[in-house]
Amino acid sequence: MEIKKLLEESSRYIMNTYNRAPIDLRKGRGVKVWGSDGKEYLDFVGGVAVNILGHCHPKIVVAIQKQAQRLIHVSNLYHIEPQIKLARLLVEHSFADKVFFCNSGAEANEAAIKLARKYAKEHQGKDKFEIITALNSFHGRTLATLTATGQEKFQKGFEPLMPGFKYVPFNDISALKSLITQNTCAVMLEPIQGEGGVKLPDPDYFKNVRELCNKNNLLLILDEVQTGMGRTGKLFAYEHYNVTPDIMTLAKGLGSGVPIGAMLASDKVASAFVPGSHASTFGGNPLVCTASIATIETLLEDGILLDQCKRMGEYLRKELKNLQKEFPSVIIDVRGKGLLVGMELTRDCSTIVKACMEKGLLLNCTAGNVLRFTPAVIVQEKDIDHMLDILGNVLSSLS
């Protein structure tokens, strides 16, 4: 189908919930994708931090093919071997003791909110239900996770919102302390705010948050939907800060593109969920768990890819900072960890994203004026150099 007709049918049949670029991507390999017209694009969006191993990684493709021939879906009314194996992998490489599987980051965060409330009510009293989150956070688009998200622009039109959430500035321990009341049951934070503009905490922030939670008998929930699965150079971002959460959520890179989310918790907290407490029809089915197992095993193999993520992240930030020196009137800041990198601009970055796309580079704009770079961990210096050439040319033409 020609692109013009395809776009017309997209407009006619699909709800208008995205500002979609006028291209149709048909094929992907590694860090490149191709449109229906054959045009090649260098992909530094990666499905918005999803394609952690790049497009169509051979190990993921083979794992999916083999499992699809054997068994695609079976109900959670029965035991599922790939699900058990995946849960064991996650537990063995994290703080957690138990895992609940679902289909997305929003669902994982929804499960975390429910678990935190149920645990608090059972162990601390019926008035324990409030959760403190951060301004400029993003936790999902279900009604509960939308309310947890500290950005009014996402909440507008969906009022009344769910009660029981309070917001504090990210990276402000004093503000967090001031909002704790007898009703507070948990604190829910992203280790790095992704949708909020790739904002990093001070080195001791999460240590102080953990101590505050311990002192006030609160649960610490870390939303690692975007930062988890090797994105920051470690399997989970909390490892950078030497803290242990009570609950952690994952999705995005967990399955290399198949829809899977997970909520992990310690035994103590997980015990609040019993049969009937929570469920997900598709959560953790054989197909998605097999893809996720292949993803984790590939990421952890000899530590090569996690080390590469660190090195390429350092190289990317260094070269973007060189670009900042060249365009000081346009670029305010470059920040990030591993291959979650943001470049803050003095202007809205949507025109830059469009211009780069026309030149064969896919970038993402978040928080209005922050270019977000989330390429696959298999990215090479030559790919980063190619990206910089295109971005530099675009910035030259706009300045």
Could you give the residue numbers annotated as active site? 138, 223, 252
Cα 203 vs. chain centroid, distance in angstroms? 21
Instruction: Identify which of 102, 84, 119 has the alpha carbon closest to the alpha carbon of residue 273.
Output: 119
> Is residue 352 within 8 Å of 314, Cβ to Cβ?
no
Distance from C-alpha of 202 to C-alpha of 62, rounded to nearest angstrom: 42
* Three-state secondary-structure class, residue 5: helix
User: Residue 372's beta-bridge partner residues?
Assistant: 342, 364
Distance from C-alpha of 155 to C-alpha of 376, rounded to nearest angstrom: 31
The token duo for 288 is 């998605």
Q: What separation in angstroms does the CA of 241 have from each of 245, 248, 341?
A: 11, 14, 18
Cα-Cα-Cα-Cα dihedral of 106, 107, 108, 109, to 10°?
50
Cα torsion 249, 252, 256, 261: sign: positive
Cis peptide before 160 (omega within 30 of 0): yes
Phi/psi at 125 (nearest 5 deg)?
A: 125, 160
Instruction: Identify which of 80, 57, 58 has the alpha carbon closest to the alpha carbon of residue 70.
Output: 80
User: Residue 278's beta-bridge partner residues?
Assistant: none
> Is residue 159 within 8 Å of 213, Cβ to Cβ?
no
Q: What separation in angstroms does the CA of 3 have from each of 7, 10, 25?
A: 6, 10, 11
Cα 300 vs. chain centroid, distance in angstroms? 19
